[in-house]
């Protein structure tokens, strides 16, 4: 008897739709030229399928929308804050909560509290805003991710892991007193959404405890990381996503969270810590930079939607469908021979622009070029994660990352499998004419985080 495959389906049904604008090649060419060939500067109304980011772009549930009607907009002591605090403690396990307008608000406050001039902050690959806040506070980021993470074709299942030898070498070189914390991210974004294993976290906790160093968790996509632990790490197959998430957090001292990803809201974030002294200082600083400590730049309704979204985010059926859609798109691209980062990560597909456009040097921005070409073909908006995102060193020289990628980030609960087919077919068409594509030059570069606002011209 033939075994029939058991497919998964989305654990929801559609109640409302948002109509999309279909554009012509001529319209897309004009829109992209006006945007300086930077997909961040396109108007959303000119985009057909928007894969720029999964940050704040997810679809909220009926329960979240209903929760917004319960918004307590009191300036101080909103009941929605206390509901959010309770959910963070129950689901994530951290003691103290400081809400912020989004994740980078938490990064700013944390960096100002913990980092002194000359400090070293090791981490499992940089993220743009995280590293910038660390540098603005006087610190220097040091990459301690395993070498496999910089190899797009390496299929090691936990490419987000920290190399303990690299961390130990930094401790020996600078001394533990110069390392305020290890910046540990789950589902490492710049590596392609690659997870860190629970075993690696246990080893990290043991080493940092030995030297009195904190571990601060960038938990933006922690539920997706938990899914890969459940599926790939021995001993976790029968544990729920919620149980795994809480165990991950138990090996850390605090976390920054952009709730616009995993927590399924359009705005919001927080800093969560276990140390009273850090919390007390953060509670004071949030008043300066964000708002009172019981709203931190958010409306009561936003905090209520976040509390409900956190609960939904650790539902096993939800996360299986969320990552499953990403895997579906990745496998479709592989069928067309498109080079992508392997293994497939949790929040998007990362196309290897160096292999896609090997004739374009990194100084001519192959990933930026490819993102532009995909938009011209179909109206699908993606984003560059390569030399433009990496930015410049303190001495003005460009960083030259080994990975030069185009990120196809899938919003949660937004698009259908048919959209995934359209996306893969568009990339395949561009791949067929890849040898005709020329690179670009940068004609305007902002001071910070240049990938957001830089302007380009075709060569």
218 catalytic? Reply is: yes
Based on the residue annotation, tell me whether 399 is a catalytic residue of this protein.
Answer: no
> E strands within 101-259?
120-123, 140-143, 181-185, 214-218, 254-258
Residue 67's SS3 state is helix
Q: Has 451 been annotated as catalytic?
A: yes
Catalytic residue among 63, 75, 116, 317: 75
Q: 232, 158 in Cβ contact below 8 A?
A: yes
CB 386 within 8 A of CB 365: yes
Q: Are 71 and 299 in contact (CB under 8 A)?
A: yes
Q: Is 377 an active-site residue? A: no
Catalytic residue among 39, 53, 100, 128: 128
Active site residue 128: yes
User: Would you say 124 and 144 are in contact if contact means Cβ atoms under 8 Å apart?
Assistant: yes
Which of 46, 119, 163, 218 is an active site residue? Answer: 218
CA distance linking residue 187 with residue 195, whole number of Å: 4
Give which of 100, 252, 261 is closest to 193, Cα–Cα.
Answer: 261
Name residues whose C-beta falls within 8 Å of residue 205's C-beta, 6 or more positions apart in sequence. Answer: 215, 251, 252
Helical segments of 160-252, H only = 164-174, 198-211, 222-232, 241-250
Which one is catalytic: 48, 94, 127, 356?
A: 127
Q: Which two tokens mark 440? A: 């670009």
Find tokens 């399928």 and name the residue.
Answer: 49
Is 75 among the residues known to form the active site? yes
CB 354 within 8 A of CB 448: no
C-alpha distances out from residue 223 to 96, 118, 187, 310, Å: 20, 34, 9, 10
Residue with tokens 């990339």: 427
The answer to whether 368 touches 381, Cβ cutoff 8 Å, is no
Does the annotation count 261 as an active-site position?
A: yes
Kindly name the residue from 242, 385, 412, 413 that is annotated as catalytic. 385
Residues marked active site are found at 75, 127-128, 218, 261, 385, 451
């Amino acid at each position: 008897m033939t075994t029939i495959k058991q497919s998964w389906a989305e654990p929801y049904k559609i109640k409302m739709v948002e109509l999309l604008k279909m554009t012509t090649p001529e319209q897309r060419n004009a829109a992209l030229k006006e945007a300086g060939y930077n997909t961040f500067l396109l108007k959303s109304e000119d985009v057909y399928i928007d894969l720029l980011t999964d940050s704040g772009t997810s679809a909220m549930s009926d329960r979240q929308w209903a929760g917004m009607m319960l918004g307590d907009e009191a300036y101080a002591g909103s009941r929605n804050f206390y509901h959010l605090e309770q959910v963070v403690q129950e689901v994530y396990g951290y003691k103290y909560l400081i809400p912020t307008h989004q994740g980078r608000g938490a990064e700013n406050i944390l960096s100002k509290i913990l980092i002194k001039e000359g400090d070293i902050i090791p981490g499992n690959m940089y993220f743009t805003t995280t590293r910038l806040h660390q540098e603005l506070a006087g610190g220097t980021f040091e990459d301690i991710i395993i070498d496999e993470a910089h190899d797009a074709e390496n299929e090691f299942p936990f490419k987000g892991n920290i190399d303990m030898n690299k961390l130990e070498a930094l401790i020996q070189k600078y001394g533990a007193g110069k390392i305020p914390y290890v910046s540990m991210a789950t589902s490492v974004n710049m590596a392609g959404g690659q997870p860190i294993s629970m075993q690696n976290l246990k080893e990290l906790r043991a080493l940092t405890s030995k030297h009195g160093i904190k571990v601060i968790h960038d938990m933006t996509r922690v539920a997706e990381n938990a899914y890969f632990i459940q599926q790939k790490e021995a001993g976790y197959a029968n544990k729920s996503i919620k149980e795994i998430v809480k165990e991950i957090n138990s090996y850390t001292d605090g976390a920054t969270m952009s709730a616009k990803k995993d927590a399924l809201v359009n705005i919001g974030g927080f800093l969560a810590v276990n140390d009273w002294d850090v919390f007390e200082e953060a509670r004071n600083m949030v008043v300066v930079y964000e708002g009172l400590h019981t709203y931190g730049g958010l409306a009561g309704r936003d905090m209520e939607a976040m509390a409900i979204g956190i609960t939904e985010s650790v539902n096993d059926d939800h996360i299986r469908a969320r990552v499953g859609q990403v895997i579906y798109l990745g496998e479709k691209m592989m069928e067309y021979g498109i080079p992508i980062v392997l293994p497939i990560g949790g929040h998007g597909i990362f196309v290897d622009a160096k292999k896609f456009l090997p004739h374009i040097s990194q100084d001519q921005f192959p990933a930026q070029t490819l993102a532009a070409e995909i938009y011209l073909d179909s109206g699908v908006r993606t984003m560059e994660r390569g030399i433009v995102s990496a930015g410049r060193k303190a001495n003005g020289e460009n960083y030259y990352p080994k990975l030069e990628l185009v990120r196809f980030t899938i919003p949660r609960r937004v698009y259908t499998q048919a959209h995934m087919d359209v996306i893969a077919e568009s990339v395949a068409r561009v791949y067929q004419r890849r040898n005709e594509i020329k690179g670009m030059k940068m004609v305007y570069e902002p001071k910070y985080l240049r990938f957001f606002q830089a302007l380009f011209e075709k060569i």
